[in-house]
Amino acid sequence: MIRVGALLLLAIALAACDDMTTQPKKNAYADASVGPGKVPAGTVAFQERPVAPPPVSLALIERGQERFRIYCTPCHSELGDGNGMVVQRGFPAPPSYHIDRLRQAPPGHFYDVITNGHGAMYSFAQRVAPADRWAIIAYIRALQRSQDASAADLTPAEKAALQ
């Protein structure tokens, strides 16, 4: 009787033995055949809901600078002259930001280009969230200013600081 009981206990104990490395769990990338989801018609993707342009602040411009350097510099270059590394390797050159047409273009134009692409430029809607698009636009404005300022734009205090 004791022997049977011991065998039974052993069987139960051994039944718990399992390879703990195989525990099924939801892992988005476990199955490589599952690609990024498609957005059903009539809906908007996560983070795709448009947001109103936030007020311009230093933090916004700095966020824009960081995002610009990630997503835009490969073609537009750090200076915004459209001669980035990928353009140097044969990608069609985008226009420089420092032309009159783009200096006068409304912010919505840049937002539209980031969202929907333009010419050879693909849409960056999947990569740049709406709030970050406005941040990038704020930084583009700062870039444009950086190449288009004269001494007359400085306040007397700023001039004194430079001299």
Q: Does 111 bind another protein (CB under 8 A)?
A: no
- Closest residue by Cα to residue 130 from 44, 70, 65, 7: 44
Rounded to 5°, the CA angle 31-36-40 comes to 130
* Near another protein by CB under 8 A: residue from 1, 3, 17, 33: 33
Q: Are 84 and 75 in contact (CB under 8 A)?
A: yes
Q: Does 69 bind another protein (CB under 8 A)?
A: yes
Q: Does 90 bind another protein (CB under 8 A)?
A: yes
Smallest separation (angstroms) from another protein to the CB of 59? 14
> Residue 85, Cα to own-chain centre: how many angstroms?
19
**Distance in angstroms (rounded) separating the CA atoms of residues 49 and 52:** 10
Residue (4 or 20) nearer to another protein, CB: 20
Task: Identify which range of 31-39, 53-61, 94-102, 152-160 contacts another protein by CB under 8 A.
Answer: 31-39
**Distance in angstroms (rounded) separating the CA atoms of residues 111 and 75:** 17
Smallest separation (angstroms) from another protein to the CB of 16? 16
**Distance in angstroms (rounded) separating the CA atoms of residues 109 and 99:** 14
Residue (7 or 45) nearer to another protein, CB: 45
Question: Using CB under 8 A as the criterion, which residues of the chain lie in contact with another protein when the complex forms?
Answer: 20-25, 27-29, 32-36, 69-71, 73-74, 85-86, 89-92, 120, 122, 126-127
